[in-house]
Structure 1
């Protein structure tokens, strides 16, 4: 594999690129047929009983090469990369034009500019803590605080934007911890690596691989509640039953809309685990080219 050549997008400078802030990493069980709509044919999906592991990475960066911005990475599924595996993003939404250009050009991501509208809501607090939360707190050492019973929560409404209109993507409701102990709120310090494949987009047709090196304080969180747009036509369930075995979303408006709707179906799939990253420092290395572009590597098409 060779490092991707070319200059970084304006404002980002040379890699590695450093991001600081906080994030929620939520894993979902995603239907394999939906994930295959995005996965290149040369990669093998990690699946069992018709499902793969996907979900989303929702981050709020206080500091980055282009300042503050929010990001939602929709993870369609997991693919084999022996001896481990890598994630594949079906859509990346950011409220920064510079971050969008950087994601498309430098990292090969399907980035889109979006609005992130945040609203904090008060929720009545319950007194008891679940037995599972007590076990995780005492035996495993990952603090959960009072996860099931937050004093308030945050609603984040995300809508993609373009020159003429905005399209609702989803709404994410996140519970806020009411634990007064700072150590329990932020959890233990860890280091981890999140490898990913990217590319095969209209802006970068190569198949790429890159890595995010993360240092943070981690804690188990209550799964965020995700709701989709009030109106989606055609229905997402209909889209899931189409034969998508050879789909690689194309440049057409219809193909792009299919990709958006299938990404919404990923967000609406069943959550299995949510991790909160606090005091986050993420270092993103320059992608390397796994395989060069070819005429057949167009983007999602039905």
Structure 2
């Protein structure tokens, strides 16, 4: 299986484009998918300053799956797990429980500057029609370069030298007969209160793209393949048991990862495809400063 390996995109690029300062510009394509998520899964992620927006025991979470052809970190892939919607009068914003990127540079920036729970990951991509045939480089693709093809994207998170399976994403067949209207939207988000950035932050993404409704991607737990895991005999649950032995920090991290997977496995209610995406990320502002001892 061909893999889009962590850090490969940034290693060949010039010094960080993030150093030029905000706003940071990203161009590519993305899938924005909303799920009905059980509120009890999400509450552990939400800071005490916020109230979860929920009804009948559910909130709106989901995912933002993107491939960037241009960015301050070069070419890379990103999977943002959106745990739910939080309310902080007079606005409500999305809260991300986990961000997976195959760029060390993008991971560092997300953690320190944006306050995101970013982690380095491997995105392995293949054409589902060719699963029983050997893969060649022409079959390895970005998210939607040829929408007539079914795509499988397997996501593995890196933990030290181990690869931990997160999910398998099956993208549906879609045609290019209609790309949808051009839109401009603002996607506000809260972030922070992490070990890398203890402050509570708010930032916004100014998005221009062509958007259309599409069939929702199918998310499943990933069956671990020997070719993509350091210790092939270990399943997701075995990794979970193993990490708990390493202390409270990894045990807590493991719980957060497991709950983020539950968000991904929740019932989808809407999916939007963003083509010709131009996303401008504004510098975050501190809404609550927390000093660290």
Give TM-score scaled by structure 1 length: 0.77
Residues 190, 201 of structure 2: 8 Å contact kept? yes
Of residues 60, 69, 83, the one that matches 1:53 is 60
User: 1:125-153, CA deviations, whole angstroms, 9 ceiling, x for partnerless residues?
Assistant: xxxxxxxxxxxxxxxxxxxxxxxxx8531
Q: Take 2:77 and 2:165, find their aligned partners in 1: how far apart are those partners?
A: 16
Shift of 1:232: 3.8
Q: Deviations over 1:227-250 (max 9, x none)?
A: 0134443899xxxxxxxxxxxxx9
**Unpaired runs of at least 5, structure 1:** 1-8, 124-149, 237-249, 297-302
Q: Among 261, 267, 283, which residue is 1:270 paired with?
A: 267
Structure 1 segments, 4+ long, off by >2 Å, are 81-84, 229-236
The alignment partner of 2:128 has SS state of: strand
- Aligned pair count reads 245
2:150 aligned with 1:160: no
Equivalent position of 1:194 in the other structure: 187
How far does residue 83 in structure 1 lie from its aligned partner after superposition? Answer: 3.3
The TM-score with structure 2 as length reference comes to: 0.79
Match of 2:237 in 1: 233
Q: 1:156 to 1:197 in 2, by over 3 A?
A: same
CA RMSD of aligned residues (A): 2.2
Match of 2:216 in 1: 223
Deviation at 1:161, TM superposition (A): 1.1
Deviation at 1:81, TM superposition (A): 3.1
Q: Which of 18, 28, 36 in structure 2 is aligned with 1:21?
A: 28
- Identify unmatched segments of 5+ residues in structure 2: 1-14, 131-146, 224-234, 241-246
Tell me the distance in 1 between the aligned counterparts of 2:44 and 2:124.
Answer: 29
Distance 1:72 1:188 in 2: 24
Q: Secondary structure at the match of 1:173?
A: strand
Q: 82, 95, 99: which is aligned to 2:102?
A: 95
For the 8 Å contact 1:160–1:166, the answer to whether it is kept is yes
Whether the aligned pair in 1 keeps the contact of 2:83 and 2:263 (CA below 8 Å) is yes
In the alignment, which residue of structure 2 is the partner of 1:147? none
Q: Which residue of structure 2 lines up, in the alignment, with residue 67 of structure 1?
A: 74
Please tell me whether the aligned partners of residues 17 and 71 of structure 2 are also in contact (alpha carbons under 8 angstroms). no
Deviations 1:245-278 (A, max 9, x none): xxxxx97010000000000000000100000000
